[in-house]
Structure 1
């Protein structure tokens, strides 16, 4: 398991007192990243993702479409798809329910979902990926992820069989926070920065 290194980070004792406040601070940190530095870190994360998938012999992967300054790994998606990996993008089919993963490869027709996030235009071919990459608004030293607060990934990971989970994060979003009652730790977290 890849353990995050403990360096200067946001602490709940000297900063926000709620997940909502912490989320706002971490999202602002992400928005403030220098564009060229972010591009460099995204390329580093893409390389780490490819190496991780090769090492763990992952054949199907649930990916994400980057929003709100999330690491953009779309170049890596193209490389993985060209190597024969089956990819899927998440869809919120019903509120308060687990995500559905739609079969997808770069270049497939896309439509925006009700949140304005691009998803595959086809809605009939779903898969259960062996592994998921999950963007982190923040993460802690115990591999718990702070997301946007909707709980969709946690509900998805409650279902069995549970896929391998790989958080994707920038080092500057390492934070001290306690895991919530329904939070599920990531198996690993890939970090750049």
Structure 2
């Protein structure tokens, strides 16, 4: 644990401030991208994702409900279910804690969480997905992700090291930034242009 006013603490504060500014810039860039362009990118992303699922034959995937102009993959969730893949949506149970994942498929009864994001109404059928699709505000060429700053996915991956992490982003989110002390590298990052793989 770093001590207040130590060089390490000051460095971490500087990294956090720089990432905060970059996060704001990247979110503004994504929102300003015309909707029709993002829809074209989404189609390319979904095509690549379905191909990836066919090749890897995973049994369960943690998906997400898009917010803040994130890549919208919802049109391929039903085809994924038809492949025999169990889907799950992330549940923020409490702050500063790992996510939990509620089993879900299209047509299930839904409510909204404290952030206004749709969530399965049931709270009993929890799973740990083999694969997590993790939306990125930004990402580096080394496979590190910039999220919204809550640390939920990093805590989840630290707890469930068996999960295969696939970052989802538009290629325009590629940036260079210093990794945070708790950042966990993605196994792969999928954009509308390419699939990046990391050891």
| TM-score computed with the length of structure 2 as normaliser | 0.87
Alignment of 1:17-56 (within 5 A): 18-56=18-56
Deviations 1:24-76 (A, max 9, x none): 00000110111111101011111111111111121100000000100000011
Find the aligned partners of 1:88 and 1:160 in 2 and give their Cα distance: 15
Find the aligned partners of 1:82 and 1:182 in 2 and give their Cα distance: 36
Find the aligned partners of 1:176 and 1:92 in 2 and give their Cα distance: 28
Alignment of 1:97-176 (within 5 A): 97-176=97-176
Find the aligned partners of 1:64 and 1:108 in 2 and give their Cα distance: 15
Find the aligned partners of 1:150 and 1:160 in 2 and give their Cα distance: 17
Q: Is structure 2 residue 69 aligned with structure 1 residue 69?
A: yes
Higher relative contact order (CA 8 A, sep 6+): 1
Q: More helix by proportion, 1 or 2?
A: 2
Find the aligned partners of 2:149 and 2:160 in 1 and give their Cα distance: 22
Q: What 5-or-longer segments of structure 1 have no aligned partner? A: 1-16
Equivalent in the alignment of 1:7 = none
How much has 1:161 moved relative to structure 2? 4.2
Q: What 5-or-longer segments of structure 2 have no aligned partner? A: 1-16, 194-199
Equivalent in the alignment of 1:84 = 84
Equivalent in the alignment of 1:182 = 182
How much has 1:160 moved relative to structure 2? 3.4
Which structure has the greater CA radius of gyration? 2
Name the SS for the 2:166 alignment partner. Answer: strand
Find the aligned partners of 1:109 and 1:38 in 2 and give their Cα distance: 28
Find the aligned partners of 1:188 and 1:89 in 2 and give their Cα distance: 20
Aligned residues: 177
Equivalent in the alignment of 1:57 = 57
How much has 1:162 moved relative to structure 2? 2.5
What is the RMSD of the two structures over their aligned residues, measured on CA atoms?
Answer: 1.0
Deviation above 3 Å: which 4+ runs of structure 1?
Answer: none
| TM-score computed with the length of structure 1 as normaliser | 0.89
Find the aligned partners of 2:55 and 2:128 in 1 and give their Cα distance: 20
